[in-house]
């Protein structure tokens, strides 16, 4: 699988407010990355995160097992342009589903059943970033490390710590795995908004199904007995 790299941004020039030539301006992905860093608790590209417990080669075997190919990467890239204008609406659909199911809303609620609104909003901002990150992931070490951080945030080893949330301390794995279905099912109508052919929509959707499944596998790590992953 190809890994994607991008040129570094001349941050010092931007900090000084210097005029720069249009050809030297940051790429769309670099601008997106800088915007993402303002999202509280967002740590993709944070080199202080613990190293992933599997290698990139081992990740490649998981992708291979999921029938994920370079074509899927291409269709995920295509999906970003379709989904980005609708990302808030899309995540709103997912949040509506969570809110309509008390057993899921419990993940954002205290033992007394009080919803932590600030926690909901913080996670929502990161969820919106996750949509874009899934669509244009580089599948490098930074990406891999962050997947395991996301997994820890669902498990009692790290739940609530990022946001200082007043919510239940653990999300059962059965819900983490099951939510891959409503997430990918409700995604398809949004993929149809870009004016692409039915074939392209199907391929974008298939790529998303594979990517979400693999990410859910990576997030499962804290739930496994040592040596079982």
Domain ranges of the chain: 60-223
pTM, two decimal places: 0.83
Whole-number pLDDT of residue 137: 94
Specify whether domain 60-223 bears CATH 2.60.40.420: no
Task: Count Cβ atoms below 10 Å from residue 199 Cβ, excluding itself.
Answer: 8
Measured between its terminal Cα atoms, the distance across the chain in Å is 22
pLDDT-based confidence at residue 38 (cuts at 50, 70, 90): confident
- State residue 208 phi and psi, 5-degree precision: -65, -40
Residues 184-220: pLDDT tens digits?
999 999 999 999 999 999 999 999 999 999 999 999 9
DSSP annotation of 26: P
């Amino acid at each position: 699988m190809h890994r994607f790299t991008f040129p570094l941004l001349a941050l010092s020039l931007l900090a000084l407010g210097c005029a720069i030539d249009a050809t030297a301006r940051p790429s769309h992905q670099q601008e997106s990355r800088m915007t993402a860093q303002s999202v509280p608790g967002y740590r993709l590209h944070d080199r202080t995160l613990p190293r992933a417990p599997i290698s990139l080669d081992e990740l490649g075997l998981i992708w291979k097992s999921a029938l994920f190919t370079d074509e899927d990467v291409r269709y995920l890239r295509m999906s970003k342009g379709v989904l980005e204008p609708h990302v808030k609406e899309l995540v709103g659909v997912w949040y509506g589903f969570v809110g309509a199911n008390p057993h899921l809303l419990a993940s954002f609620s205290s033992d007394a059943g009080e919803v932590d609104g600030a926690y909901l909003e913080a996670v929502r901002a990161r969820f919106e970033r996750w949509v874009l990150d899934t669509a244009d992931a580089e599948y490098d070490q930074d990406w891999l490390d962050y997947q395991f951080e996301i997994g820890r945030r669902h498990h009692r080893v790290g739940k609530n710590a990022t946001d200082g949330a007043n919510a239940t301390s653990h999300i059962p794995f059965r819900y983490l795995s099951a939510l891959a279905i409503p997430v990918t099912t409700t995604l398809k109508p949004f993929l149809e908004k870009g004016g692409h052919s039915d074939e392209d929509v199907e391929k974008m959707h298939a790529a998303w199904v594979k990517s979400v499944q693999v990410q859910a596998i990576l997030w499962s790590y804290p739930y496994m007995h040592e040596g079982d992953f």
